[in-house]
């Protein structure tokens, strides 16, 4: 059984990918400092509690478990916070990734799939957005991810590293079997926050901007189910193992949904009315962000299986309304 190191594997996307790896016959080795992740999310392999700055522990973990490849999810992810605390994001997300790449070199591990982001593009100059779209990040979070992508390129030149950078749009949904799901503190993602409003856990959901040049005036985003993300990570690591060239790929459904459409979906799924408060636009929020994932679908023979917004929302609703769950 091949072992895959999953950094940030106790987090949202990392835990879903660990489950997908185990189902495919791999042994996920989760490496997480648990600053944001959860022990209960590590269910399919061992957990090594450690920080990415600990290069010796990283190297020892890879060698002890005979790791053949790395999936790198660990990072700070709050875009707004990155604007007020750029050091945290530029230091932690970049420095930690460089320690990981050095540890891989020392341990002789040559394949990595990197959790990147559409935030490296900045404001769209064309929609849908393709991989050749200009890169002009508008926040430190996106800037850090772009730096790591460039680092992958240079480590490939220097050390023969093979890599795939997966540029997510809006990860969403939860494990359809209900074993794991999204749980952030504080929660900043739209779908769980709408669900909290439907459940009365918060007073209302704020719609930031109702005057965008979109069909209903609210911002449009491309939501991709976390299970589809996990599936494409598996395909990406297998492609690298079979000699595939390094590449960066967009991950989305190619279809956008407005804030009002997502609210309507939660109302359909839940049968509850969602209280809404309209608010001014937030600085830096573009009207539309939609992925062109044609390249990923062609190269990885991948098609999103949970693209319908009610499917995405339905799995999230099931997770957030489970009778009793981990905390």
Q: Which residues are catalytic?
A: 141
Spatial distance between the Cα atoms of 50 and 58, rounded to a whole number of angstroms: 8
Q: What is the DSSP string of 244-256?
A: PPPEEEEES-S--
If we measure between CA atoms, which residue out of 212, 208, 221 comes closest to residue 280? 208
Q: Tell me the three state secondary structure of residue 90.
A: helix
Q: What are the Cα distances from residue 309, in Å, to 94, 116, 221, 239, 286?
A: 33, 23, 11, 29, 21
Q: Residue 227 has which token pair?
A: 């299970």
Count of residues making up the chain: 327
74's CB contacts (< 8 A; 6+ apart) are 7, 8, 11, 14, 31, 32, 33, 52, 96
Q: Are strands 247-251 and 162-168 parallel, antiparallel or unpaired?
A: parallel
Distance between CA 31 and CA 86 in Å, rounded?
24
What's the distance, CA 204 to chain centroid?
26
């Amino acid at each position: 059984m091949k072992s895959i190191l999953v950094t940030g594997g106790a987090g949202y996307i990392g835990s879903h990918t660990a489950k997908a790896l185990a189902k495919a016959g791999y042994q996920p080795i989760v490496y997480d400092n648990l600053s944001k992740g959860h022990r209960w999310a590590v269910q399919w392999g061992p957990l090594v509690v450690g920080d990415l700055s600990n290069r010796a522990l990283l190297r020892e973990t890879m060698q002890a478990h005979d790791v053949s490849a790395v999936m790198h999810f660990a990072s700070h992810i709050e875009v707004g916070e990155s604007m007020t605390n750029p050091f945290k994001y530029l230091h932690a997300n970049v420095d930690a990734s460089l320690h990981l790449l050095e540890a891989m070199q020392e341990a002789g591990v040559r394949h990595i799939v990197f959790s990147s982001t559409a935030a490296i593009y900045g404001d769209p100059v064309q929609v849908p957005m393709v991989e050749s779209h200009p890169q002009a990040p508008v926040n430190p979070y996106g800037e850090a991810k772009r730096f790591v992508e460039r680092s992958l390129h240079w480590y490939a030149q220097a050390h023969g590293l093979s890599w795939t950078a997966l540029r997510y749009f809006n990860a969403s949904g939860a494990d359809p079997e209900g074993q794991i799901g999204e749980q952030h503190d504080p929660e900043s993602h739209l779908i769980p926050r709408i669900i909290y409003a439907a459940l009365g856990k918060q007073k209302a959901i704020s719609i930031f901007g109702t005057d965008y040049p979109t069909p209903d005036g609210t911002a449009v985003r491309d939501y991709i189910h976390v299970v589809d993300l996990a599936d494409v990570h598996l395909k990406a690591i297998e492609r690298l193992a079979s000699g595939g060239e390094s590449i960066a790929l967009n991950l989305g459904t190619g279809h956008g949904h407005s804030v009002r459409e997502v609210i309507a979906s939660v109302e359909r799924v839940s049968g509850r009315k969602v209280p809404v408060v309209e608010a001014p636009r937030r600085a830096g929020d573009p009207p539309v962000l939609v992925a062109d994932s044609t390249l990923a679908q062609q190269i990885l023979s991948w098609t999103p299986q949970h693209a319908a917004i009610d499917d995405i929302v339905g799995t999230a609703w099931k997770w957030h309304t489970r009778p009793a769950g981990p905390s």
